[in-house]
Amino acid sequence: MSGERPGPDVRVPRPSVARAPEAPPAGEPPPAPTNRNDDRFDVRLRARARFGTVFAVLCFLATLIGVLVLAALLVDIFRDGFHRLTPAFLNGMPSRFVERAGIKPALVGSAWVMVLTAIVSFPLGVGTAIWLEEYAPNNRFTRIVQTNIANLAGVPSIVYGILGLTLFVRGFALGRSILAAAFTLSLLILPVVIIASQEAIKAVPNSIRLGAYALGATRWEAIRYQVFPLALPGIMTGTILALSRAIGEAAPVIMVGALGFISFVPTRPLDGFTVIPFQIFSWVSRPQVAFQELAAAASIVLLALLLTMNAAAIWLRNRYTRKF
Amino acid sequence: MSAIHVPAGPIELESRALSVYYGGTPAVRDVSIQIPDRKVVAFIGPSGCGKSTLLRCFNRMNDLVPGARVTGEAIFQGQNLYGTGVDPVDVRRRIGMVFQKPNPFPKSIYDNVAFGPRINGYRDDLDQLVEHSLRQAALWDEVKDRLDDSALALSGGQQQRLCIARALAVAPEVLLMDEPASALDPIATQKIEELIYELKQNYTVVIVTHNMQQAARVSDLTAFLYLGSVVEYGPTQTLFTNPREERTEAYITGRFG
């Protein structure tokens, strides 16, 4: 590595311990205290400390870039859209007329889609994770399943949209409905939910399982009463983060037929719908500046929704972790 | 005369030609040993001699180790634990276990003790059972005012006694202890040893230990295992003062292991 610095030479004789310290000549400051083995080490304390500082600064700069970009985004959309963010906007229908245009159907549509996606993806994802971690034998089939889940997490969302169109909209004849979108988004986030849940289950120490088995617990009881409660905060954090990705998606819901213009508020799972990201997209594609402002206002609503969900994730996690 | 002792009195647990394989190599080879009712039996021997593996055969915990294979018989009150129709879940309720590292559930002290009785359908007063179990484990006086506190707030020694209380709460007949004091300080260790001495009034105790002084202090009978086989088994007093086998003597005098 460093050419100038030879490795410690073990043959260097240690200075004699018995040597009496020489009295410092009068008038000169006494020498700094030294360890008698110091000549065998090149300690370089100051250089090592400096390296630590440099590293910390680099990490801080990396953080700063993310924070600055986010701040720029926030400033931009707030400057454009904040004045459009009125009760009438939140409560109104889309319209050709900027003054009357509102986001209510998209907001309700996003809420519907999110709740249904959560209901579908949570049991499927957690069930899969529990099977893979607690029940599955370590054989070729399990490994294939595991590898495929990891791969599916990387499939572009538009591809899930095509799948949803074929399978749910046409195959199951659900039409261009909230339900079809929810199923599609469930598939999209399922790999993430599964992997996050698996990690949470893996983090439960094996001694807890053995402790339960040793008391005469069945596998179901060990999982239900000991493993699952411990893994739940991690599972919920992962699921909610995955859900917040789903509600920001536009591409797959466009594929399954979200409406570009909607004149009603959806009330049932089989109703037609739109979601906030698609509403933003349709406003942004209009030439008038005022619609750009509406898009910015809708972005603020979407961000607020995401922030609320992430806050809920943190709250749930703390609530369950604090117990013990 | 054989170095494998046949104890007097009723036999609670017995292994017959028991072998355990992890993959291809046997961890326990052809062990036949008899454990009398309501005595403390210690398994001693160097690391990797198979004493923990042998212990785990008696409550079928080896079933949970992927790739482990057991041949021969482990007999509890006349019944082969590895026979057809034997449910390992029921075996583990009747033959309790305490592990090397205290492993309380991250729940309240009360819930740790109550978990076993709850899943096993305990019908009487649960509060009373929890108190009784904690008293048996000599922990009641230290925790009676904070049963709802987290078990993880207890000291290591208290946690281990909680694990013992938890094991006793499902009313087992045998208690298997896998180096129960090896992670504890000397004072906590002494408490556990006193507790073991108390427990043999009501339970058969099998304890694996690295600590020969501990085996000498707490056990009635001691088995010395080496390379998966029982080299010598007999009354603790005899085994430590007048071992029949040269290898036993070498081990207990600290010449190897």
Give the 3-state secondary structure percentages of chain A, helix then strand then coil, rounded to 5: 70, 0, 30
Instruction: Check which CATH number belongs to the domain holding B73 and give it.
Output: 3.40.50.300
Interacting residues of A269 by C-beta distance below 8 A, sequence separation 6+ = A112, A116, A177, A178, A179, A182
A206 touches chain B (CB under 8 A): no
In angstroms, what separates the C-alpha of A140 from chain B's closest C-alpha?
Answer: 16
Question: Amino acid identity of B223?
Answer: A
A210–B103 C-beta distance less than 8 A: yes
| B152/A205 CB distance under 8 A | no
pLDDT value for A4: 47
d(CA A15, CA A2): 26
Q: Is B64 an 8 Å CB contact of chain A?
A: yes
Give, as one character, the DSSP assignment of residue B141: H
Q: In B45-126, which ranges are E strands?
A: 68-76, 79-80, 95-98
Q: Is B26 on the interface with A (CB under 8 A)?
A: no
Which residues does B211 contact at the CB level (< 8 Å), separation at least 6? B181, B182
Whether residue A214 contacts residue B167, with contact meaning beta carbons closer than 8 Å, is answered with yes
Taking the CA atoms of chain A, what radius of gyration do you get in angstroms? 30
Does residue A34 register a pLDDT over 70?
A: no
Q: Closest Cα to residue B159, out of B191, B205, B127?
A: B191
Could you tell me which of B192, B211, B183, B219 has the C-alpha nearest to residue B46?
Answer: B211
* Average pLDDT of the residues of chain B: 93
CB B191 within 8 A of CB B12: no
User: Does residue B4 form part of some domain?
Assistant: no
B107 to A215: CB separation less than 8 angstroms, yes or no: no
Residue B65 lies in a domain: yes
Does residue B28 form part of some domain?
Answer: yes
Confidence of residue A31 (pLDDT cuts 50, 70, 90): low
Count the domains in chain B. 1
**CA-based nearest residue to B71, from B109, B16, B8, B148:** B16
**Percent of chain A whose predicted confidence (pLDDT) is above 70:** 88
Within a domain: B93: yes
Superfamily of domain A85-323: MetI-like (1.10.3720.10)
Provide the chain B residues 193-232 that lie in CB contact (below 8 A) with chain A.
none
Residues A317 and A237: beta-carbon distance below 8 Å: yes
* Complex confidence, ipTM: 0.93
Q: What is the pTM of this model?
A: 0.83
Question: Order of strands across the sheet with B68-76?
Answer: B25-36, B11-22, B68-76, B79-80
Chain B residues near residue A228 by CB distance under 8 angstroms: none
What's the CA gap between B145 and A24, in Å, rounded? Answer: 67
Under the banding of pLDDT at 50, 70 and 90, the label for residue A161 is very high
Q: Which domain holds residue B126?
A: 11-252
pLDDT interval class at A321 (50, 70, 90): low
**Residue B112 belongs to some domain of the structure:** yes
Better-predicted residue by pLDDT, B79 or A5 = B79
